Amino acid sequence: MTTTNRKIEFNIVASVYHIEITPSDVGTHDRVIIQSLLKEIGQTQQVDITAKQKFKVVVINEADHLTRDAQAALRRTMEKYSPNLRLILIANSTANIIAPIKSRTLLVRVAAPTIDEMVGVLKYVAELERFEFSNKLARRVAEESGRNLRRALLMFEALYAQNEVVKDNTPIPPPDYETLIGQIADELLADHSPARILLVRAKFYDLLTHCIPATTILKLLTFRLVAKIDDVLKADVIKWAAFYEHRIHLGSKVIFHLEAFVAKFLRILESYLMGMEF
């Protein structure tokens, strides 16, 4: 596919029933994909005359990461080619989808499964895999996963893979990066010196080189820290976490903002302990 004179490589997942695209893969060039690819699909009819539906289905993943331009290009395309083309947009949140698109679509909110539903799924899996199932353990796994079913299933699998005998109180192995972030939190709480920041930096780099998103690091770290400090400080720590998380999105180098947050946190904590106004 060409824009003015550049070629873009783009992956499409297709079956006889649908075409799946992730336009945000190509960054700021996603408008070209929407304009050329979708129009091309929309202008031709379904080839298979035995098909039940006359229209083709295009699934757009990560629709909330589409640029404004691409979304503007979608507006008319959606209406014009509706006989040949139905779009399914998938997004984590509707916050970044422009109003004209929202008013043209049927919103289907998919809530995260409740704890009880998750226990049900885990039970079903345990039956199929012939595991010994315990309600209490499943409930713990579900709560630990933060209502994320994929994570709960992975944790469940890891639990049975690592232990010969699984009891109700078997510790649930957290993902490696969470262990490391937990370590960082403990280290920060143990010693509030600048030398500690230097020590922690190596661990941040370790996490970042393993492709853990900075937002995830900051969020997990914040919640770990908040759980262990005095109630008075909590609001303040969250405030600064939100502040630096915003900076991560605006800035170019994430390590600066992670360290700035750590420094800020230590300062707040230390001045509180010494009884100073901060």
Partner 1 sequence: MASFFDVAGRRAAAAAAQSSATPSTKAKDPNRPVPWVEKYRPKSLSEVSAQDHTISVLKRTLQSSNLPHMLFYGPPGTGKTSTVLALAKELYGPELMKSRVLELNASDERGISIVREKVKNFARITVSNASATQSSSYPCPPYKIIILDEADSMTQDAQSALRRTMETYSKITRFCLICNYVTRIIDPLASRCSKFRFKPLDEENSRLRLEEIARTENVEYEDGVIDALIKVSEGDLRKAITYLQSAARLHNPIIQPKPGKVDNEGDEEMEDEEDDGDEDDPKLVLDSKKITVRSIQEIAGVIPDQTIDDLLAACEPKKGKSAYSDISMLVRNIVADGWSAGQVVLQLYNKLVFNDIITAEQKNDIVLIFSEVDKRLVDGSDEHLQILDLALRISEVLAKG
Which residue among 249, 256, 270, 273 contacts partner 1 (CB under 8 A)? 249
SS3 21: strand
Site string for partner 1, 198-237 (x = CB under 8 A): -----------------x--xx--x---x----xx-xx--
Query: Site residues for partner 1, window 114-173 (CB under 8 A)?
Result: 114, 146-147
Tokens encoding 6: 């550049």
Which residue among 79, 128, 253, 275 contacts partner 1 (CB under 8 A)? 79
Which residue among 12, 14, 54, 278 contacts partner 1 (CB under 8 A)? 54
Query: Cβ closer to partner 1: 93 or 209?
Result: 93
CB 265 within 8 A of CB 237: yes
CB 201 within 8 A of CB 190: no
The radius of gyration of the chain from alpha carbons, rounded to an integer in Å, stands at 24
Q: Give all strands of the β-sheet with 12-14 in edge-to-edge order.
A: 12-14, 18-21, 56-60, 85-89
Which residue among 1, 25, 55, 260 contacts partner 1 (CB under 8 A)? 55
Judge residue 81's burial from the number of C-beta atoms within 10 Å of its C-beta, 0-12 exposed, 13-18 middle, 19 or more buried: buried
Q: Find the shortest distance in angstroms from Cβ 153 to partner 1.
A: 17
Binding status of residue 28 toward partner 1 by CB under 8 A: no
The torsion angles phi and psi of 92, rounded to 5 degrees, stand at: -70, -35
Query: Cβ closer to partner 1: 96 or 170?
Result: 96
Binding status of residue 107 toward partner 1 by CB under 8 A: yes
Among the residue ranges 67-75, 154-162, 184-192, 266-274, the one whose residues contact partner 1 (CB under 8 A): 67-75
Say how far apart CA 65 and CA 24 lie, in whole Å: 6
Binding status of residue 75 toward partner 1 by CB under 8 A: yes
Which residue among 77, 84, 134, 170 contacts partner 1 (CB under 8 A)? 77
Binding status of residue 252 toward partner 1 by CB under 8 A: no
Residues 6+ apart with CB under 8 A from 30: 23, 24, 66, 67, 69, 70
Tokens encoding 60: 């757009």
Query: Cβ closer to partner 1: 75 or 196?
Result: 75
Among the residue ranges 134-142, 167-175, 191-199, 240-248, the one whose residues contact partner 1 (CB under 8 A): 240-248
